[in-house]
């Protein structure tokens, strides 16, 4: 059996065949990147060995056509990540750089990594259509953002007193107001430029919204159950479909987690066993999972309960193992505190939704209902502090500890009041609902 490494370029493909057992070079071939060149490359490979695997450096825009041609002819194709190639070339005994040298490095890198561990190429299905539309929409949004930034600077230069709310340039109502103001102004060069920018923003918004509606229909036809998951909207679902490109490619959830960069990486040494975060993987897919997790932490009750329980258990474990042995309470008291902590983790979750509390007050007949939330970073600080105090006798802590804990809580509460301008109320630990009862006159 042979492994054929391919180094694709815009105008040519260079391939090198190596023995799968020894890595010895068997033959090389360079062909133009045309349909006739594809046929010639396949004929050359068939003449080298009947049993073969193609290892193509994963440069999608230049290697996609060759991949599709080989898969349509029944060939087995795997993708070699480009990040493997730099180190492989440096470790090569052959000096210099050329297309045949690069193709040979691709083949040997595939052998070193293991053919079975590399991503298997497959014919593009509906996921490719979703990815094309989604990428095009993201390009439109990026262009719109650039134009909005330039427009804001021109508006500030023309009318420094004009204050535009965040995100208002995405909304047709604000764009119409701005267009009217510009139309009533003297038609200087900067005003004419801003009017053109407003028109372009409207066009881009219409196109992006049309693409979002089309993606929603495609997702509903391909994976309708994705839209039923909390925190998964049509764009996130489209991103999952486009980047995963066929869930059947992954025999286990761990394989998918590794691709997305959400599986931990071993970082152990000697007797120390630990893991670290994976900074690699598919960052687009990683961002999609991150959005789902953050949204579920905010609006999905089971996810909020899980986070609260895990945090409570983590702080209790840390306290029991971090405090000096001479400071710990007797084991009987620790066991009683552990049972209380387990109960608190199950019942004292404070996972309310302020908007639901406001709606409840309105239904009860209250008017002018407002919500004031407090304790975000202060609550994060308070959980480990209270857990530590539960594990250590009070006389061991002393007055300085009490002063430190109180002043730290006060300072963090000040920070929380400042953060309340930008952080959603759902993230806060406590909520105060106020309202007035309307007077009724008989």
The model's pLDDT over 50-86, given as tens digits with 9 standing for 90+, comes to: 899 999 988 867 888 888 889 888 898 888 888 777 6
Quick check: is 245 in a domain? no
Residue 20 has pLDDT above 70, yes or no: yes
Average pLDDT, the chain: 84
Q: How confident is the model at residue 426 (pLDDT cuts 50, 70, 90)?
A: confident
Contact residues for 368 (Cβ-Cβ < 8 A; gap 6+): 435, 436
Nearest one of 82, 90, 88 to 108, comparing CA atoms: 88
| Predicted pLDDT of residue 347 | 47
Exposure class string for 296-309: b at 16+ Cβ within 10 A, else e: bbeebeebbeeebe
Contact residues for 285 (Cβ-Cβ < 8 A; gap 6+): 239, 240, 243, 244, 259, 260, 261
* Lookup result for tokens 């993201």: 138
Quick check: is 442 in a domain? no
Query: Rounded to an integer, what distance in angstroms lies between the CA atom of residue 206 and that of residue 200?
Result: 10
| Predicted pLDDT of residue 181 | 93
E-assigned strand segments in 44-172:
52-57, 77-80
Q: Are residues 137 and 179 in the same domain?
A: yes
| Predicted pLDDT of residue 214 | 94
Q: Are residues 113 and 134 in the same domain?
A: no
Quick check: is 10 in a domain? yes
| Predicted pLDDT of residue 86 | 65
For residue 259, the surrounding DSSP H or E stretch is: helix 253-260
For range 76-102, the mean pLDDT: 75
User: Measuring CA to CA, how many Å separate 162 from each of 186, 361, 441?
Assistant: 17, 37, 46
Highest mean pLDDT, choosing among 106-115, 118-127, 375-384:
106-115
Nearest one of 71, 76, 54 to 8, comparing CA atoms: 54
Quick check: is 441 in a domain? no
Nearest one of 117, 3, 102 to 59, comparing CA atoms: 102
Q: Are 263 and 255 in contact (CB under 8 A)?
A: no
Quick check: is 381 in a domain? yes
Q: Are residues 202 and 255 in the same domain?
A: no
For residue 203, the surrounding DSSP H or E stretch is: helix 189-222
Q: Are residues 316 and 432 in the same domain?
A: yes
Domain boundary among 82, 117, 152: 117
| Predicted pLDDT of residue 211 | 95
Q: Are residues 308 and 416 in the same domain?
A: yes
> What proportion of the chain, given as a percentage, has pLDDT over 90?
29
Query: Rounded to an integer, what distance in angstroms lies between the CA atom of residue 165 and that of residue 361?
Result: 29
Query: Rounded to an integer, what distance in angstroms lies between the CA atom of residue 18 and that of residue 28?
Result: 9
Q: Are residues 286 and 361 in the same domain?
A: no
Query: Rounded to an integer, what distance in angstroms lies between the CA atom of residue 53 and that of residue 51?
Result: 7
Exposed/middle/buried for 41, CB within 10 Å: 0-12, 13-18, 19+? buried
> Mean pLDDT lowest for which of 26-30, 59-63, 344-348, 433-437?
344-348
User: Measuring CA to CA, how many Å separate 420 from each of 75, 304, 309, 367?
Assistant: 58, 20, 25, 23
Q: How confident is the model at residue 432 (pLDDT cuts 50, 70, 90)?
A: confident
Q: Are residues 285 and 318 in the same domain?
A: no
| Predicted pLDDT of residue 53 | 92
For range 236-244, the mean pLDDT: 91
Q: How confident is the model at residue 176 (pLDDT cuts 50, 70, 90)?
A: very high
Domain boundary among 93, 117, 141: 117
Q: Are residues 139 and 264 in the same domain?
A: no
Query: Rounded to an integer, what distance in angstroms lies between the CA atom of residue 138 and that of residue 8?
Result: 27
Tell me, what CATH number does 50's domain have? 3.30.420.10
Query: Rounded to an integer, what distance in angstroms lies between the CA atom of residue 206 and that of residue 251?
Result: 40
Quick check: is 336 in a domain? yes
Q: How confident is the model at residue 430 (pLDDT cuts 50, 70, 90)?
A: confident
Q: Are residues 144 and 212 in the same domain?
A: yes
Quick check: is 26 in a domain? yes
Q: Are residues 180 and 65 in the same domain?
A: no
Domain boundary among 117, 148, 169: 117
Q: Are 169 and 201 in contact (CB under 8 A)?
A: yes
Quick check: is 187 in a domain? yes
Crossing angle for the helix pair 99-113 and 83-90, to the nearest 10 degrees: 110
Over the stretch 329-373, which tens digit does the pLDDT of each residue have?
A: 566 665 665 555 555 554 454 556 777 888 888 888 888 888 888
Q: Are residues 101 and 138 in the same domain?
A: no
Strand, helix or coil at 122?
coil
**Residue range of the domain that includes 93:** 2-117
Q: Are residues 236 and 181 in the same domain?
A: yes
Residue 302 has pLDDT above 90, yes or no: no
Contact residues for 313 (Cβ-Cβ < 8 A; gap 6+): 341, 345
> Mean pLDDT lowest for which of 17-31, 133-147, 374-388?
374-388
Over the stretch 400-416, which tens digit does the pLDDT of each residue have?
A: 888 888 899 899 989 98
| Predicted pLDDT of residue 440 | 63
Tally the domains of the chain: 4
Residue 139 has pLDDT above 50, yes or no: yes
Q: How confident is the model at residue 297 (pLDDT cuts 50, 70, 90)?
A: confident
φ, ψ of residue 430 to 5 degrees: the values are: -120, 150
Over the stretch 184-227, which tens digit does the pLDDT of each residue have?
A: 999 999 999 999 999 999 999 999 999 999 999 999 988 889 88
Q: How confident is the model at residue 388 (pLDDT cuts 50, 70, 90)?
A: confident
Q: Are 175 and 198 in contact (CB under 8 A)?
A: yes
């Amino acid at each position: 059996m042979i492994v054929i490494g391919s180094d694709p370029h815009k105008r040519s493909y260079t391939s090198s065949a190596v023995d799968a057992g020894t890595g010895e070079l068997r033959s090389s071939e360079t062909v133009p990147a045309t349909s006739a060149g594809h046929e010639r490359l396949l004929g050359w490979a068939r003449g080298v060995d009947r049993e073969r695997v193609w290892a193509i450096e994963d440069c999608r825009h230049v290697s996609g056509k060759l991949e599709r041609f080989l898969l349509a002819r029944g060939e087995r194709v795997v993708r070699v990540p480009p990040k493997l190639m730099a180190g492989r070339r440096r470790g090569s005994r052959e000096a210099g750089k050329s297309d045949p040298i690069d193709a040979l490095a691709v083949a040997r890198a595939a052998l070193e990594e293991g053919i079975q561990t590399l991503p298997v190429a497959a014919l593009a299905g509906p996921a490719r259509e979703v990815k094309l539309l989604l990428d095009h929409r993201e390009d439109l949004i990026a262009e719109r953002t650039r134009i909005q930034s330039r427009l804001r600077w021109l508006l500030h230069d023309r009318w420094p007193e004009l204050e535009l709310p965040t995100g208002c340039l995405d909304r047709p109502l604000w764009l119409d107001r701005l267009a009217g103001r510009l139309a009533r102004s003297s038609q200087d060069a900067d005003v004419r430029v801003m009017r053109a920018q407003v028109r372009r923003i409207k066009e881009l918004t219409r196109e992006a919204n049309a693409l979002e509606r089309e993606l929603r229909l495609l997702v509903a036809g391909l994976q309708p159950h994705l839209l039923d998951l909390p925190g998964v909207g049509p764009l996130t679902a489209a991103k999952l479909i486009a980047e995963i490109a066929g869930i059947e490619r992954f025999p286990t959830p761990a394989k998918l987690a590794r691709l997305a960069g959400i599986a931990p990486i071993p970082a152990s040494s000697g007797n120390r066993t630990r893991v670290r975060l994976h900074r690699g993987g598919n960052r687009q897919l990683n961002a999609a999972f991150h959005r789902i997790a953050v949204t579920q932490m905010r609006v999905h009750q089971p996810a909020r309960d899980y986070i609260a329980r895990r945090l409570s258990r983590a702080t209790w474990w840390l306290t029991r193992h971090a405090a000096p042995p001479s400071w710990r309470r007797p084991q009987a008291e620790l066991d009683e505190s552990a049972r209380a902590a387990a109960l608190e983790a199950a019942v004292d979750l404070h996972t309310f939704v302020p908007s639901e509390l406001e709606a409840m007050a309105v239904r009860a007949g209250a008017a002018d209902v407002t919500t004031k939330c407090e304790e975000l970073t202060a609550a994060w600080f308070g959980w480990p502090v209270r857990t530590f105090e539960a594990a250590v006798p009070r006389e061991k802590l002393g007055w300085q500890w009490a002063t430190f804990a109180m002043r730290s809580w006060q300072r963090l509460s000040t920070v929380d009041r400042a953060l309340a301008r930008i952080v959603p109320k759902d993230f806060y630990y406590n909520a105060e609902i106020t309202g007035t009862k309307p007077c009724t006159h008989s």
